[in-house]
């Protein structure tokens, strides 16, 4: 089986409709971003342009075979500009194809290379075994369990794992 190419490019406002659809999938139970409208998603993407110029956040669209299948990004720690936190999401129709792991490796090269980070962390819901697999497959190590860090819509809290890689 030949795998289509995974690529990253900066997010565009034209990605908003696709991201809205992906992020509002009811099976996305571990990813907290749920835009209320396509317009809200457009505003978020426009705000990300300013964040990139200010070197606080760098957001990318994940392309698989030229199609928009997800997004990823790195947030730079405000007080320690050598530390970044990575996040990612992929459309459910493309789960299990290694796309997120490939995107993480590309984003990591940007983080350690262009952004000159020394540490990249991935935080995830401790119940999200798929994200945990992406992190371990990409060479990240679990460092900690943070208790009751994610507030759910029902008012209860979930735990978070921290995985990280240092250069």
H or E, element range at 112: helix 99-112
Q: In this structure, is residue 70 part of a structural domain?
A: yes
Q: With respect to residue 101, please indicate whether it lies within any of the assigned structural domains.
A: yes
- In the chain, which stretches have pLDDT less than 50? none
For residue 90, what are the β-bridge partners?
70
* pTM reported for the whole predicted model: 0.92
Say what the pLDDT of residue 37 is.
Answer: 94
Contact 4, 64 (CB under 8 A): yes
Nearest Cα neighbor of 28 from 72, 86, 92 is 92
On whether residue 129 sits in a domain, the answer given is no
Provide the CATH number for the domain around residue 65.
Answer: 3.40.630.30
Domain membership flag for residue 135:
no
For residue 142, the model assigns a pLDDT of 97
- Residue 155's pLDDT is what? 82
74 located within any domain: yes
Assigned domain for 57 exists: yes
The verdict on residue 147 lying in a domain is no
| Distance separating the N- and C-terminal Cα atoms of the chain | 33
For position 15, what pLDDT does the model report?
97
Q: Is 158 exposed, middle or buried (0-12, 13-18, 19+ CB in 10 A)?
A: middle
In 49-140, beta strands by DSSP E: 57-64, 67-76, 83-90, 119-125
Number of domains in the chain: 1
Query: Would you state the pLDDT for residue 53?
Result: 93
Predicted pLDDT of residue 4:
77
């Amino acid at each position: 089986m030949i795998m289509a190419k995974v690529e990253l490019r900066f997010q565009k406002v034209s990605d908003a409709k696709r991201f809205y659809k992906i992020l509002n999938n009811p099976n996305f139970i571990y990813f907290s971003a749920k835009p209320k409208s396509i317009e809200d998603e457009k505003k978020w993407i426009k705000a990300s342009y300013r964040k990139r110029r200010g070197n606080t956040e760098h957001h990318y669209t994940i392309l698989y075979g030229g199609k928009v299948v997800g997004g990823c990004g790195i947030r730079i720690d405000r007080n320690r500009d050598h530390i970044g936190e990575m996040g990612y999401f992929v459309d459910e129709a493309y789960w299990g194809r290694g796309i997120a792991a490939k995107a993480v490796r590309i984003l990591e090269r940007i983080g350690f290379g262009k952004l000159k980070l020394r540490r990249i962390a991935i935080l995830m819901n401790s119940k999200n075994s798929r994200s945990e697999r992406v992190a371990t497959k990409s060479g990240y190590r679990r460092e900690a369990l943070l208790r009751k860090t994610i507030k759910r819509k029902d008012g209860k809290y979930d735990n978070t794992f921290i995985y990280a890689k240092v250069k």
